[in-house]
Amino acid sequence: MASLYLTPKVWRQIEQAVRKNPNLETGGVLMGYPLSKEEWLVTYASGPGPKAIHQPHSIMFDDQHLRNLVRKQSRRRQWQYIGDWHSHTVRRLTPSKGDRRTIWEKASKSVYMSASPFMLIVGLNKRDQLQGRAFTLGDALNEVKNLKVIDRQFLQQRL
């Protein structure tokens, strides 16, 4: 069973991006590294890029910007592309047909180099708190049951 861990800084960055305009979708790439074969740590979450198109029910990333960003961060910090994150403006955090198509397309692009990328979908709940659901692509799109924002102590125990 896959586990996806996010640093508190990553979660705050995502939350700030969502709260900037909660009526429009936003998102970006997730980068980090594996802790084990089934466990991944997200250490960086980007924005969607300067030419991204934000709409109430979709986001079109600035793909050229994100491809360059992934290459740059991979060389500079030894981080890997883990997947994408995006927000939904509705409370249902289920992948749409477009979300499913995007993750399949990303899995086949060599610049992203991930045979099983993650998709993190976030949104604000009724109490105006950020919530999230993650999915991973293997033979099918499966929900990640273990999605956690971790603290430094957790990470020190794992390393």
pLDDT band at 103 (very low <50, low <70, confident <90, very high): confident
Q: What CATH code is carried by the domain that includes residue 43?
A: 3.40.140.10
pLDDT at 79 over 90: no
Structural domains counted in the chain: 1
Indicate the pLDDT class of residue 113, thresholds 50, 70 and 90: low
Q: What is the mean pLDDT of residues 115-140?
A: 90
**In the prediction, which pLDDT does 85 show?**
97
Domain, as residue range, for 122: 3-158
Q: Which are the contacts of 131, defined by CB distance < 8 A and separation ≥ 6?
A: 93, 122, 123, 124, 125
Q: Measured between alpha carbons, how far is 83 from 114 in angstroms, rounded to an integer?
A: 8
In this predicted structure, the answer to whether residue 110 has a pLDDT above a threshold of 70 is no
Whether pLDDT at 112 is above 60: no
CB 46 within 8 A of CB 38: no
**pLDDT score of 116:** 64
Q: How large is the average pLDDT for residues 115-125?
A: 88
**Cα-only R_g, the chain:** 15
Q: What pLDDT score does 114 carry?
A: 63
CA distance linking residue 71 with residue 112, whole number of Å? 9
pLDDT of 115: 58
